[in-house]
Amino acid sequence: MNSTRGPESEQDKKVFIFDDGSRSYRLLYHEIRGNDLIKLSSVKVHNADPANIIGNYIHRMAVTTRNSIAPQVLYLHFTRDDFTKYDIEEQRNQLARIYPNFLIFWAFEFMHQDIVEFRYSQLELLG
């Protein structure tokens, strides 16, 4: 199968995820870690408060990455419950204004926390 895209660099494959220790983070990590098309870059979050995604998550990234004009791919693990509780929709708009080069995938945007908990418990059963 021929591709119309040119060769991809390692930067093209890099995906940033944010390790805040939550089960939704661990579920996302588990789901994408085995994909050899993605080079994961896990950013450690010390203040796991989604009320301020830019300050508590995005600003944990290297300044050179945040200020780069190259597209940056981010996978965020917030659930539907988080969207409601922390007004993430407004934060999403703010992120788009401040960081137009960020390509953000909201992995669990339409999934409630109880489903994440169930799926995570299934992972624990598998070992």
How many angstroms separate the CA atoms of 101 and 95, rounded? Answer: 10
User: Region 104-127: what's the mean pLDDT?
Assistant: 93
Measured at the CA of 94, the angle between CA 63 and CA 38, to 5 degrees, comes to 55
Q: Where are the alpha helices (DSSP H) in 3-112?
A: 10-13, 23-33, 53-56, 63-67, 80-85, 88-98
> In the structure, what pLDDT confidence band is assigned to residue 11 with cuts at 50, 70 and 90?
low
DSSP three-state, residue 97:
helix
Res 6: pLDDT? 46
Mean pLDDT estimate for the chain: 91
User: Region 66-95: what's the mean pLDDT?
Assistant: 96
Say what the pTM is.
Answer: 0.86
How many angstroms separate the CA atoms of 61 and 76, rounded? Answer: 13
> In the structure, what pLDDT confidence band is assigned to residue 13 with cuts at 50, 70 and 90?
confident
Q: What are the residue boundaries of the structural domains of the chain, listed by start?
A: 10-126
Res 9: pLDDT? 56
Res 40: pLDDT? 95
* Residue pLDDT, tens place only, 39-79: 999 999 999 999 999 999 999 999 999 999 999 999 999 99
Is residue 66 packed enough to be buried (19+ CB in 10 Å), middle (13-18) or exposed (0-12)?
Answer: middle
